[in-house]
Structure 1
Amino acid sequence: MPKERTQKKSRQHREVCQQGILFRKDSGQHILKNPLVINSIIDKAALSPTDVVLEVGPGTGNMTVKLLERCKKVIACEIDPRLVAELQKRVQGTPLASKLQVIVGDVLKTDLPFFDVCVANLPYQISSPFVFKLLLHRPFFRCAVLMFQREFAQRLVAEPGSKLYCRLSVNTQLLARVNHLMKVSKNNFRPPPKVESSVVRIEPRNPPPPINFKEWDGLTRVAFVRKNKTLNSSFRCKAVLELMEKNYRLHCSVNSITIPHDFNAKNKVTELLEKSGLADKRPREMDGDEFLSLLATFNDGGIHFS
């Protein structure tokens, strides 16, 4: 084995021995080790002494300890019992111990408690489902400051017309104001991930738009399957027309509306797209207000997406 590789493995082995834990990369266990980055993230959360903070994936507690020093309480959600033990050992016998509550389990399968602010270095594989779990959580929280893979963060904040603008962008921005705060190099983690990272601030819109989010999500799902095609083209695909006709017939049945014997789904969809004034628009160019207008036009015409 080459000397350089041997030395690298030896350094990794020493780090593991010192820490006492072998981190699982496949579970997204990349511990943020740079105290300057940790302090910067916490500063950007603008915590007050009365805040309850939700932290997801606290790891060995590098960020948790600093959060405990600044707020009323930290609720830490961790799936790995080894790391839970390490975290509890770290605060045991200190005044911080009484301010820490640990939830052991998968955050995606856990009912989130009340909290004011969420601060987390997330396992990147749960980024998308966790963001929407967070945004649909009630009661409202003030903000979330979250670490993501760089490209995911860029998609969250992407604007209409940009290369990375997608369904994630428009869905997130419907429910929240999203800002990119800082870039974080992979060298700030142990073990280093293969990708670069970014920190994003998410502030939920309160009150939220008065719509059914499942319907909204269904509409954008159809639209972004072919985001570079016009709506007129995307919504006239056979599979889409079949889905919309099924939903229309269900709507009419539930509301005791008689369906004309010559009903044609393609003609109905074309009529509503023309009425919306968006038939020739491409989803990658449309902002949230245009999607809201499109959804309202379809709903007024009896076509739903949930």
Structure 2
Amino acid sequence: MPKIEGQKKTRIHKEISKQGILFNKTFGQHILKNPMIITSMIDKAGLLPSDIALEIGPGTGNMTVKLLEKVKHVVACEIDPRLVAELQKRVQGTPFQGKLQIMIGDVLKTDLPFFNICVANIPYQISSPLVFKLLLHRPFFRCAVIMFQKEFAQRLVAKPGEKLYCRLSINTQLLARVDMLMKVGKNNFRPPPEVESSVVRIEPRNPPPPIPFTEWDGLTRIAFTRKNKTLGSAFKQTSVLALLDKNYRLHCSLNNKAIAEDFNIKNKVEKVLNEVDAEKMRARTMDIDDFIKVLHAFNSEGIHFS
């Protein structure tokens, strides 16, 4: 008889394997099982008894219970109804039951209630949109201590000139102070992810810089499309010039400004870049002040990015 290969066993959390619940890779479910790391994350968040904490992806509640011991109220966002049921069972009949609010659904599509602190081991595939959802949330929260994929965390804290410095780096650092707290190995999760992880502390700048973020984001999007090229080169792309020409004409129309018949957006863009000595600058070495200077120069001439 032909040899029958044994089926690979799915790695599942011991606590819920008895319930027959398997982790869903689509949701990026990797439960943080090391209590020392959970405790360290909570300690670094500097929780107060009066805090309302947000947790994203509570899973089976290992971190949730620790948060409930420290704060006034916890808002937990979970997309998987099976894990919601497990979390409810875990706090049912305990003093924590009235302190926990569970929101079921995709956190990116959810209107978040008030919170002033965030501690979470998040699904890594939502890292970038979640960071900006949190940073643009109002009212401001005090800080967030979040587990990310190691390389994503390194991009968050990267400085101008470093290899991983990118649009994510400067957009985040415009809105917040970002610090790397600790590295976390794969074996601290069940099932282990394929990547290493790191914990980052994000502290929003309050008040934020007086810059329209949509304008800023539009500028950095163009500049970092080719971060090793000069701005002069980046702004010569046909698609970029077409966008800026359209936005300039709209600006003039809204402000009753006449446009010369021989107007050429390419010439105007080159003029702006030359006036602030930015034509030879490269996005990979530009800091926040450099981008603010360039954005102000463009906006002053009626050229907008959103």
The equivalent of 2:244 in structure 1 is: 244
Match of 1:197 in 2: 197
- The code of the aligned residue for 1:17 comes to S
Query: What is aligned with 2:159?
Result: 159
Q: Within 1, Cα distance between the matches of 2:174 and 2:20?
A: 44
1:93 aligns with 2:88: no
Q: Partners of 2:55 and 2:290 in 1: how far apart?
A: 35
User: How has the CA–CA distance of structure 1 residues 129 and 87 changed in structure 2, closer, same or farther, with 3 Å as cutoff?
Assistant: same
C-alpha change, 1:10 and 1:154, in structure 2 (3 Å) is closer
Aligned to 1:127: 127
Mapped partners of 1:265, 1:86: distance in 2: 59
User: For residue 277 of structure 1, what is the aligned residue in structure 2?
Assistant: 277
5 Å-filtered alignment, 1:294-305, equals: 294-305=294-305
- AA aligned opposite 2:223: A
Structure 1: distance between partners of 2:17 and 2:172? 41
What percent of counterpart residues are identical? Answer: 71
Q: Secondary structure at the match of 2:187?
A: helix
Which amino acid letter does the alignment assign opposite residue 220 of structure 2? T
- 2:198 alignment partner, SS class: strand
Q: Which SS does the other structure have where 1:225 is aligned?
A: helix
State the AA in 1 paired with 2:161: G
- Alignment map for 1:35-54 (pairs within 5 Å): 35-54=35-54
Shift of the 41–6 alpha-carbon distance from structure 1 to 2, 3 Å rule, reads: farther
Secondary structure in 1 matching 2:70: coil
Shift of 1:243: 1.2
Q: CA deviation at 1:238?
A: 1.6
> Which residue identity does 1:110 align to in structure 2?
T
Change (3 A) 1:192 1:275: same
- Residues 257-294 of structure 1 deviation map (CA, whole Å, 9 limit, x = unaligned): 01112111111001000112211110000001111111
Aligned 8 A contact 2:79 2:105 in 1: yes
Q: Could you tell me which runs of 5 or more consecutive residues in structure 2 were left unpaired when the two chains were aligned.
A: none
Q: Secondary structure at the match of 2:273?
A: helix
For 1:290, the equivalent position in structure 2 comes to 290
Select between 5-14 and 16-25 the one with higher mean Cα deviation: 5-14
Query: How high is the TM-score relative to the length of structure 2?
Result: 0.96
Q: 1:232/1:14 Cα in 2 relative to 1: closer, same or farther (>3 Å)?
A: closer
CA shift at 1:17, angstroms?
2.9
The CA distance in 1 between the partners of 2:265 and 2:17, in whole Å, is 66
Q: State the distance in 2 between where 1:64 and 1:111 align.
A: 20
Other-structure match for 2:221: 221
What is aligned with 1:105? 105
TM-score with structure 1 length normalisation? 0.96
Instruction: Note the C-alpha offset of 1:12.
Output: 5.3
Post-superposition shift, 1:303?
0.1
Alpha-carbon distance change, 230 to 54 in structure 1, aligned in 2, over 3 angstroms: same
1:59-113, Cα deviation, whole Å (9 max, x unpaired): 0000000000001010001011100000010011110111101111110010011
Q: Structure 1 residue 239: deviation in Å?
A: 1.5
